[in-house]
Amino acid sequence: MSKGRAIIKTEEEIELMRLSNQLVSKVLGELSNHIQPGISTLRLDQIAYEYIKDHHAEPAFLNYKPHSSKTAYPHTLCVSVNEYVVHGMPKKDVFLKEGDVVSVDCGVKLNGYYGDSAYSFTVGDVEPEIQKLLKVTFECLELGVQKAIHGNRVGDIGYEVQTHAEKHGYGVVRELVGHGVGTSLHEAPEVPNYGSRGKGMMLIEGLVIAIEPMINMGTKKLVLDNDGWSLRTADKLPSAHFEHTVVVRKGKAEKLTTFEFIKNGKTAVV
């Protein structure tokens, strides 16, 4: 997914990336106004498309085609409901219902640079075990971000995410990972949600990476749907997914994305 050499960004490039990542954060905030029982996942996709275009940017996922895929992705969002982990295809006949958990992953391209973020929303009241899954996955993200500092290694991030998730008996997805971000949506390095302390590529100040824990309530094993994109848990138990794009800094990582635009009452963790 993110082959090649990691690219350290200049401060000028980081400022441009701040704009694209602020925009993707605002898209998720706008969607939080619409996530409710009865709305179709395709309608959420349409709202995101219109919002991005109205802000003079391009949807990063629309027509995206990685080397590993036979087909380009046909939507603006990945909307993954309940047992769907990531890359859920928006559909006109899939409607959110009370008690669902829905991961929304969004990317934009603005001024030549990409922004990328994901958030798992609750739809109405959810079961306590789902609340816990979301809380722990959000904590995994925060713990991973704390390790994105100059001099650490990629494995330090993965170790924190894996240890915290598995401590609660959850499965950590292996097939999909975080990644570098810049003038490409997926750059080096890959940032797994598992690993060992002190292993992997060294993190250097100015590196911009997306950290995105994908944590399953049960097994870590996934099944690919016939559409070639949508991935769900093999045991059909729920999954959660959160993502921040961050700059590696000395002492403390700098988040370029934010969840501050997401309205209270649409989630279990903010």
159 is in which domain, residue-wise? 11-255
Cβ distance 64 to 93 under 8 Å? no
Provide the number of structural domains found in the chain: 1
Q: Is residue 178 within 8 Å of residue 209, measured between CB atoms?
A: yes
Residue 265 lies in a domain: no
Domain CATH code at residue 150 = 3.90.230.10
- Residue 269 inside a domain? The answer is no
Instruction: Please report, in tens digits, the pLDDT of each residue of the chain (270 residues total).
Output: 555 789 999 999 999 999 999 999 999 999 999 999 999 999 999 999 999 999 999 999 999 998 777 889 999 999 999 999 999 999 999 999 999 999 999 999 999 999 999 999 999 999 999 999 999 999 999 999 999 999 999 999 999 999 999 999 999 999 999 999 999 999 999 999 999 999 999 999 999 999 999 999 999 999 999 999 999 999 999 999 999 999 999 999 999 999 999 985 455 554
Q: What is the DSSP annotation of 202-246?
A: BP-TTBEEEE--EEESS-S-EEE-TTSS-EEETT---EEE-BEEE
Confirm whether 250 is domain-assigned: yes
> Rounded to whole angstroms, how far apart are CA atoms 247 and 244?
10
pTM reported for the whole predicted model: 0.95
Classify residue 228: in a domain, yes or no: yes
